[in-house]
Amino acid sequence: MFSPLIEDLIRALRCLPGVGPKSAQRMAMYLLEKDRDAAGTLARTLEQAVEKVGRCSQCRTLTEQDVCALCNNSRRERQSMCVVETPADVLAIEQAGNYHGRYFVLHGHLSPIDGVGPDSLGIDLLEQHLAGGELRELIIATNPTVEGEATAQFIAERAAERGVAVSRIAHGVPIGGELEYIDGGTLAHAFNSRTAFSTGT
Amino acid sequence: MFSPLIEDLIRALRCLPGVGPKSAQRMAMYLLEKDRDAAGTLARTLEQAVEKVGRCSQCRTLTEQDVCALCNNSRRERQSMCVVETPADVLAIEQAGNYHGRYFVLHGHLSPIDGVGPDSLGIDLLEQHLAGGELRELIIATNPTVEGEATAQFIAERAAERGVAVSRIAHGVPIGGELEYIDGGTLAHAFNSRTAFSTGT
* B32: nearest CB among A16, A23, A53: A53
CB A155 within 8 A of CB A83: yes
Q: How many residues does chain B have?
A: 201
Nearest chain A alpha carbon to B45? A9
The C-alpha atoms of residue A110 and residue B185 are separated, in whole angstroms, by: 58
Q: Could you tell me the pLDDT band of residue A176, with boundaries at 50, 70 and 90?
A: confident
Domain B55-168, CATH among 3.90.1150.10, 3.40.1360.10, 2.40.50.100, 1.10.10.10? 3.40.1360.10
Angle (deg, nearest 10), helices B36-52 and A36-52:
150
Q: Within a 13 Å sphere around the CA of A144, how many CA atoms are in the beta-carbon half? A: 10
The C-alpha atoms of residue B104 and residue B82 are separated, in whole angstroms, by: 6
DSSP state of B20: -
Burial A87-99 (b: 16+ CB within 10 A, else e): bbbbbebeeeeeb
With a cut of 80, say whether residue B200 has pLDDT above it.
no
CB contact under 8 A, B12 and A52: no
pLDDT digits (tens, 9 = 90+) for A6-64: 999 999 999 999 999 999 999 999 999 888 999 999 999 999 999 999 999 999 999 99
* A23: nearest CB among B18, B47, B63: B18
pLDDT for B17 equals 92
pLDDT digits (tens, 9 = 90+) for B152-188: 999 999 999 999 999 999 988 888 888 888 888 888 8
The C-alpha atoms of residue B85 and residue B105 are separated, in whole angstroms, by: 6
Nearest chain B alpha carbon to A61? B2
CB contact under 8 A, A3 and B107: no
Q: Could you tell me the pLDDT band of residue B199, with boundaries at 50, 70 and 90?
A: confident
The C-alpha atoms of residue B172 and residue B156 are separated, in whole angstroms, by: 20
CB A109 within 8 A of CB A117: no
**Any chain A CB within 8 A of the CB of B131?**
no
The ipTM, to two decimals, is 0.83
The C-alpha atoms of residue A151 and residue B134 are separated, in whole angstroms, by: 72
**Any chain A CB within 8 A of the CB of B167?**
no
CB A102 within 8 A of CB A71: yes
The two beta strands, B165-168 and B137-140, are parallel
The C-alpha atoms of residue A106 and residue A87 are separated, in whole angstroms, by: 9
pLDDT digits (tens, 9 = 90+) for B45-74: 999 999 999 999 999 999 999 999 999 999
* A91: nearest CB among B1, B49, B65: B1
Domain A59-168 has CATH 3.40.1360.10: yes
pLDDT digits (tens, 9 = 90+) for B23-48: 999 999 999 988 899 999 999 999 99
Q: How far is CA A65 from CA A61, A68, B3, in A?
A: 10, 6, 8
CA distance A21 to chain B (A): 13
**Any chain B CB within 8 A of the CB of A67?**
no
Q: Could you give the dihedral angle defined by the CA atoms of residues A170, A171, A174 and A180, in that order, rounded to the nearest 10 degrees?
A: -150
The C-alpha atoms of residue B65 and residue B56 are separated, in whole angstroms, by: 7
Q: Could you tell me the pLDDT band of residue A197, with boundaries at 50, 70 and 90?
A: confident
What's at A133, amino acid-wise?
A: G
CB contact under 8 A, A17 and B30: yes
CB A70 within 8 A of CB A93: no
Closest CA to B47 of A21, A47, A24, A1: A47
**Where along chain B do the CATH 3.40.1360.10 domains lie?**
55-168
pLDDT digits (tens, 9 = 90+) for B89-129: 999 999 888 899 999 999 999 999 999 999 999 999 999 99
The C-alpha atoms of residue A144 and residue A110 are separated, in whole angstroms, by: 13
CB B21 within 8 A of CB A95: no
CA atoms B161, B162, B163, B165: torsion sign: negative
pLDDT for A2 equals 83
